[in-house]
Amino acid sequence: MSNNFNFDAKIPTGPLADKWDRHMIDNPLVAPGGNRRKRTIIVVGTGLAGGGAAATLGELGYNVLNFCIQDSPRRAHSVAAQGGINASKNYQNDGDSVYRLFYDTIKGGDYRSREANVYRLAELSMAIIDQSVAMGVPFAREYGGTLANRTFGGVQVSRTFYARGQTGQQLLLGVYSALSRQVDAGTVKMFPRHEMLDLVVVDGKARGIIVRELMTGEIKRYAADAVVLATGGYSPVFYLSTNAVNSNATAAWRAHRRGALFSNPCYTQIHPTAVPQLGDYQSKLTLMSESLRNDGRVWVPGKAGDGRKPTDIPEADRDYYLERRYPAFGNMVPRDIAARAALVECDQGKSAHLSEQSVYLDFAEAIGRLGRDVVADRYGNLFAMYEEITGENPYETPMMIYPAPHYTMGGLWVDYNLESTIEGLFVAGEANFSDHGANRLGASALMQGLADGYFVVPRVVANYLAGADLKDTNPDAAEFKDVENDVQTHLRKLLSIKGNRTVREIHWDLGRVMWTKVGMARNREGLTEAIGRIKELRQTFWQDLALAGTDSDLNKQLEQANRLGDYLELGEVMARDALMREESCGGHFREEHKTEDGEAKRDDANFTFVSAWEYTGQDKEPVMHKEDLVFENVELKTRSYK
């Protein structure tokens, strides 16, 4: 462990509420017109953060190159977010404010995020709603025509805006419409089916990327004045997760290998309500939105091994364990707490009758109280999705649910300007580490994606371009050719192995190690074992991988193999980070560190810091640096939802 890295989070001075405004006044701008047009910015990713940034930079007049792996920017994984987006509008007059959203997010993140970043997020939340409404996002409305709200976990106000169970889709289509307009205007050039495989650094500054055009396999070089990564998180390191099957960490990981530090990799969010794993053929886990806990009650049979059907179990024999353990928040406790509570029950043999790793989410009470039509109006699409997968009707039989990897709070280290430790490389959305600490509250991912995309990135990138001393460079420069050469060599090496184990088989093995040892509950022995197992799997991968086809064609097996190679490195750093962090906080639960009643026990004296890992070479131990977290406005307390 060392601490020789020169950290400067560049947090503006002054009172919390003034920091962002002051910062904007204190920094230089780029004048409209020709000065902006001659600046090229690469944005990787077209989700809420990437697409939002690309469209907004285009509106401002910059020359934007926007890349995505999907066949259309409208399919970025933000599309899958179901429940909603938070904003401190206080439209419900229930006591909400910027400070309350800030405080809830800091507390929800178990006091492991930066105050200044989180406050800015809470401030910007309101403008996101205004912007999205003005763009024609069809949010749910009341009969009077005003915007409707619902409640999400970990808070006691109703501040979540939604569009049925498809909020992410609708916000993304809003971003996509703004992008489409800029593509037509010629400010944004769109590159669908292009995957970033490396970052080009010239004179210490991010100046370009190497991409693979997925349709043809062609490797291409692109140069720019700044690079923005908005490529999402790394949940698929667990193999089974709620993420899309093409979601991956390769762009972020390759940037890490080029010098960007990776922060808090062990902070992963296991979402409490997904459809349980039903077999080993499975390719993904399907999320059932957190909004269901507004009306659904979570329970298990009171006795271990109760084999009765849920509808045959009388009230007296049921344990509504969240309501029992957390009377103040009940079923609406934050995700990390609800997930771990399910694990505790299942470990005691109390589970739903069809799977030992599942609990019930029951709507009988809500249907009795509200009627079936109201429940169908609120959750109909989720119920239909559930029935399609399991063959069971949730209006009549309680849903079976179990936690599943869903989101990753860790990511590339960024300062207040979302700039990584590589100058000119900005990281937005889930790909950075900055706003959610050790646990993200529900409906806050969409908020962060759009805050970064619409508001933060356009300003901080402008500040950077106005002040940076950038030499001329182009894709034919030696630095670009060298990096392209590395990429080509890497791909050919994968194809030359000609072993016997498929990508899916090795990924499945990695996922099992990550889920059992680096999942919801972790301990020293398990983490040490995981580090060894992952190293072995990395060897298996490089010696026995089976691939067919070529690199000069559409070849999804090759794409997945290339991503898996990175997961096999990232997984080890996650385990190392979890091993280093001798405390429990948020999504990181160390069995050695808990209170008498089984709750997470932080160690503020020794662990109030952000870890930031430095890549030191293939198969070499990474080096950890620390950014100390300073709390000037919030008092660190034991997080309680009782």
Q: Where are the alpha helices (DSSP H) in 111-202?
A: 115-134, 167-185
Residue among 213, 193, 190, 209 nearest 201 (CA): 209
Burial label for 311, CB within 10 Å (0-12, 13-18, 19+), is: exposed
10 Å Cβ neighbour count for 525? 11
Output the smallest distance, CB 500 to other proteins, in A: 7
Q: Please state, in angstroms and rounded to a whole number, the distance separating the CA atoms of residues 117 and 263.
A: 15
Give yes or no for a contact between 291 and 150, defined as CB atoms under 8 angstroms apart. yes
Cα 76 versus chain centre, distance: 13
Q: How far is the CB of 251 from other proteins (least distance, A)?
A: 16
Q: Are 416 and 9 in contact (CB under 8 A)?
A: yes
Between residues 244 and 364, which has the closer beta carbon with respect to other proteins?
Answer: 244
Report the C-alpha gap between 338 and 350 in whole angstroms: 15
Supply the minimum distance, in Å, between the C-beta of residue 374 and other proteins: 14
In angstroms, what is the minimal distance from the CB of 499 to other proteins? 10
Closest separation in Å from C-beta 389 to other proteins: 7
- DSSP string of 513-567, one letter each residue: HHHHHSSSSB-HHHHHHHHHHHHHHHHHHHHHB---S-SSS--HHHHHHHHHHHH
- The Cα–Cα gap between 272 and 3 comes to 36
Query: Least Å distance between CB 257 and other proteins?
Result: 26
Looking at the Cβ atoms of 355 and 516, the one nearer to other proteins is 355
Looking at the Cβ atoms of 479 and 505, the one nearer to other proteins is 505
Strand pairing report for 399-408 and 40-44: unpaired
- The rounded Cα 115 to chain-centroid distance in angstroms is 19
Report the alpha-carbon distance of residue 271 to residue 253 in Å, rounded: 24
Q: How far is CA 93 from CA 96, 125, 291, 626, in A?
A: 7, 17, 20, 41
Which residue's CB is nearer to other proteins, number 89 or number 220? Answer: 89
- 263 or 540: CB nearest other proteins: 540
CB of 82 to other proteins, least distance (A): 8
Do the bridges between strand 609-614 and strand 623-628 make them parallel or antiparallel, or are there none, so unpaired? antiparallel
**Nearest approach, Cβ of residue 324 and other proteins (Å):** 32
Cβ nearer to other proteins, comparing 41 with 178: 178
Q: State the DSSP code for 148.
A: P
Question: In the bound complex, what is the minimum distance in angstroms from residue 450's beta carbon to other proteins?
Answer: 10
